[in-house]
Structures are given as structure tokens and as C-alpha cells.
């Protein structure tokens, strides 16, 4: 795993938690922030996976 994969996974987890907190507290803005952060983490993880594939060649 490279730095982008680790950071992406952390962002996904943080975003999922924030999204759940937004649902529970009834705050749509927090829920949306969490969803955005979770998706940003997915993108960053995908970038990390692509980088790893390139490095392994």
C-alpha cells in the first residue's frame, strides 16, 4: 500500500462516520460533507492503486 491508498481509506472511513452522524442528528449539511469526503477518499484510493500498478511494472 502506498500513501494515497492509506490516506484514501482514512478519508473514506472519516466520511462514512460524518455521513452517519449527519443522518442521526438530522443535519443534511453534515451528511453531505461526509458523502463528499467518502467519495474523495475513494478517488484517492483509486489513484493509489493505479500508482502501485505502474510501480510494479
Q: What is the per-residue pLDDT across 23-50, written as a single tens digit (0 to 9) for each?
A: 999 999 999 999 999 999 999 999 999 9
Contact 51, 1 (CB under 8 A): no
Residue 26, class by beta-carbon neighbours within 10 Å (0-12 exposed, 13-18 middle, 19+ buried)?
exposed
| % the chain with pLDDT above 70 | 100
Q: Which candidate, 50, 49, 44, 15, places its Cα nearest to that of 23?
A: 15
Q: Are 11 and 57 in contact (CB under 8 A)?
A: no
Amino acid at each position: 500500500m502506498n500513501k494515497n491508498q492509506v490516506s484514501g481509506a482514512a478519508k473514506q472511513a472519516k466520511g462514512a462516520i460524518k455521513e452517519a452522524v449527519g443522518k442521526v442528528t438530522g443535519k443534511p449539511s453534515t451528511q453531505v460533507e461526509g458523502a463528499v469526503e467518502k467519495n474523495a477518499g475513494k478517488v484517492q484510493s483509486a489513484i493509489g492503486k493505479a500508482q502501485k500498478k505502474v510501480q510494479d511494472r
